[in-house]
Amino acid sequence: MTMQAARCPTDELSLTNCAVVNEKDLQSGQHVTVKTTPNHKFVFTVKTHHTVAPGSIAFSLPQRKWAGLSIGQEVEVANYNFDKSKQCIGAMTIEIDFLQKKSTDSSPYDSDKMAAEFIQQFNNQGFSVTQQLVFTFCDKLFGLMVKDIEAMDASILRGEPASGKKQKIDIGLMVGNSQVIFEKAESSSLTLVGKAKTKEARQTIINPEWNFEKMGIGGLDREFSDIFRRAFASRVFPPDIVEQMGCKHVKGIMLFGPPGCGKTLMARQIGKMLNAREPKVVNGPEILNKYVGESEANIRKLFADAEDEQKRLGANSGLHIIIFDELDAICKQRGTGASSTGVHDTVVNQLLSKIDGVEQLNNILVIGMTNRPDLIDDALMRPGRFEVKMEISLPDEKGRVQILTIHTNKMRGFNLLAPDVDIKELATETKNYSGAELEGLVRAAQSTAMNRHIKATSTVEVDMEKAEKLQVTRSDFMGSLNNDIKPAFGTNQEDYSNYIMNGIIKWGDPVTHVLDDGMLLVQQTKNSDRTPLVAVLLEGPPHSGKTALAAQIAEDSEFPFIKICSPDKMIGHSEISKCQAIKKVFDDAYKSQLSCVVVDDIERLLDYVPIGPRFSNLVLQALLVLLKKAPPKGRKLLIIGTTSRKDVLQEMEMLDAFSTTIHVPNISTGEQLVDSLELLGSFTDKERASIAHQLKGKRVWIGIKKLLVLIEMSLQMPADYRVTKFLSLLRDEGALNEGDQIRI
């Protein structure tokens, strides 16, 4: 029949979501299609009311808006029958907002109760996707829009177990066991609580397509899993469960560790890993401004978007990530700045109030990065602020394999990596290399390989024929490893090679015993979990070769980090700068899993002299603390000290700081001295026999270093006089004692 559109007679009828007709035309509860144009039909459930004129059909304002109807418009109305086996509503998703913006409030509305009320009010009514209607709940009016309808499983209607099949439909009939899911409109300030506020299969915060290797991250699997456990587990769970647990999300992560180990890369990739807003990356110094109050305003601007979204969307707000690089530049300990403005203090205060102040935000994740966590203000490090503290340390062997694989993948794909390149071998050879240094190693090897194909004539040209066959070989990597890229926290061979320039001369059992005991201590450091810190003191007379033996033990240990803390590198240093230099050596050692520090010539480090101001108490106290300080968990440290004045260290109560003491003696018999000459191969057999005859049965007292000097002096003489000169030098260095002892 053709009917005329009219206005709904009462507000009460407007809330029923029904079209209203005269009882002479149709019956209450009947379903009809209203055809507005040849191509547009809309399904309504009807109610009757005596005030509606026969031949008219009355619609509420939301219905007229949805169907595009105007008052007095003629429409075609026909009966509509639902197929209950296919068109009963299983689940319907409805977008909800306050009907009038002026009536908004911040009270939470229970979507479970709301769904039960909705089904009660609109039972046995027809609904279409995109349909608009008004709903009253707790004396508030809400505007609704149907977003999505799923048909009820036909198996359930027959009383059988659910088949699990889901089918989308455009028009459905509301029944008593339909499920209604409320979703807050995007710009709404409405607060929903309860299970029916989101779909069960809601969008996860973790991007399903992320992959460590594609993201260019290697060696950080454990760190990522720890960060995920602490910072994102609560964000993956449905909000209603999180609310029921009273759980608060982690808002801050602090990444610290040596330079080049992937802190910035990790922070950048966390943003890609999450379905979150594009992260805001801020370099610490960029925040600071010369004008008063501008630095604090810069901090407020970073959080403005998150604040605005939280006010509008509440718990449904997206995650905002803010990344601070070089955080120590702006968040130094308060009260330590020398400037009169105290700008650092106010910046720290502003950041504290934004992350976890009175009006706290729950939709932010702040990631801070620094090489110097000791400089950061303590208030920032407590739970509720930067509560997840993660050390990004040097990669282990498995991590180095991953990093080298990532950086050589492209070459391998284009067949530019020679078959003789073994990534596992390179990973073994690159102990203590950071991620950045491994990338530098690959670049250096590529440069070496490309250089082979450059013809350096009057002009620099590329040999194109050979360039097409370019491959990066094992020798390119090994050459770069030995010459170009050295680890910042590794063994500097030049450091200790100078001390063992002439090798170790095993002139007798005492030297062998020292080396054997040294290797036992190396094995103890590697294998024992009870003693992560082992400190040994090599003591003996001057020139006995203590430093060379310490350097040899360190080299034989093959620890990835070896440093020699020597007084010759601290000439002219003040007491304080000397303490800082010694502390830096130990701090660097703690960053490696296995480290060896040689503290050479301890009495010189302490500025000891037998007269006047005897020693530096500042340096002594620093050394006492560092020698006893255990390395961080999972790290092991071997300390080898050397001294010629054991008695002085005893008086200073320093011997107790060492686990054990090994005595390094001088050459004390003529036979030992002759054995040394044979090992050095400096004299001929005849000359050695003559020297042996002269020294037979005599006792000497000479250090191996002094002996080397005397031998070299003797060798400058003509061949006939070398033995005589050598024996003369031996006597000149000391005096004859009791007729047969040469005291040197």
Phi and psi based region of residue 257 (left: phi greater than 0; alpha: psi -120 to 50; beta: remaining): left
**Helices marked H in 237-341:** 239-245, 263-273, 284-287, 294-313
Distance from C-alpha of 681 to C-alpha of 31, rounded to nearest angstrom: 114
**List 240, 328, 588, 601, catalytic entry:** 601
> Which residue in 264, 547, 642, 643 is the catalytic one?
547
- Written as six digits, the tokens of 281 are 């990356």
Q: How far apart are CA 17 and CA 122, in angstroms?
A: 8
Q: Could you say which of 86, 628, 629, 696 is catalytic?
A: 628
- Which residue carries 């992320």 as its tokens? 210
The single-letter DSSP state of residue 457 is: S
Q: Are 507 and 672 in contact (CB under 8 A)?
A: yes
- Residues 617, 622: Cα–Cα separation, whole Å: 9
Which listed residue (600, 642, 643, 706) is catalytic? Answer: 600
3-state secondary structure of 508: coil
Q: What is the DSSP letter of 301?
A: H
Active-site residue, from 546, 591, 636, 706: 546
Joined tokens for residue 187: 């710009």
Nearest residue to 403 (alpha-carbon basis) of 537, 295, 538, 266: 266
Query: CB of 679 within 8 A of CB of 506?
Result: yes
Separation CA 606–CA 618 (nearest Å): 9
Q: Which two tokens stand for residue 272?
A: 């890609």
For residue 619, the Cα-to-chain-centroid distance in whole angstroms is 35
168: part of which helix (H) or strand (E)? none
Annotated active-site residue 600? The verdict is: yes
16 catalytic residue (yes or no): no
Q: What are the backbone angles phi and psi of residue 164, rounded to the nearest 5°? A: 85, -5
Secondary structure E strands in 650-717? 660-663, 667-669, 699-702
Distance in angstroms (rounded) separating the CA atoms of residues 348 and 209: 37
Q: How far apart are CA 628 and CA 622, in angstroms?
A: 10
Residue closest to 553 by CA, chosen among 482, 487, 496, 628: 496
Task: Provide the 3-class DSSP secondary structure of residue 54.
Answer: coil
705 labelled catalytic: yes
Strands (E), 421-560: 454-456, 460-462, 533-539
How far from chain centre, in Å, is Cα 630? Answer: 24
Determine the Cα–Cα distance for residues 390 and 499; give it in Å rounded to an integer.
Answer: 38
CA-based max dimension of the chain = 146
Specify whether 168 is catalytic: no
Which string of DSSP letters, residue by residue, matches 119-150? Answer: HHHTTT-EEETT-EEEEEETTEEEEEEEEEEE
Task: Give the C-alpha separation, 270 to 554, whole Å.
Answer: 40
User: Cβ atoms within 10 A of the Cβ of 393, count?
Assistant: 24
Mapped to the 3 state alphabet, what secondary structure does 556-592 carry?
HHCCCEEEEECHHHCCCCCHHHHHHHHHHHHHHHHCC
DSSP secondary-structure letter at 609? -
Q: Which of 728, 723, 725 is nearest to 686 (CA)?
A: 723
CA-angle at 457, arms to 456 and 458, nearest 5°: 125
Rounded to whole angstroms, the Cα distance separating 50 from 475 reads 98
Given the residues 35, 195, 272, 705, the one annotated as active site: 705
Query: Distance (Å, rounded) from C-alpha 621 to C-alpha 603?
Result: 13
User: Which residues, other chains included, contact 326 with Cβ-Cβ below 8 Å and sequence gap of 6+?
Assistant: 283, 284, 285, 369, 370
Task: Give the residue numbers annotated as catalytic, written as ranges.
Answer: 546-547, 600-601, 628, 705
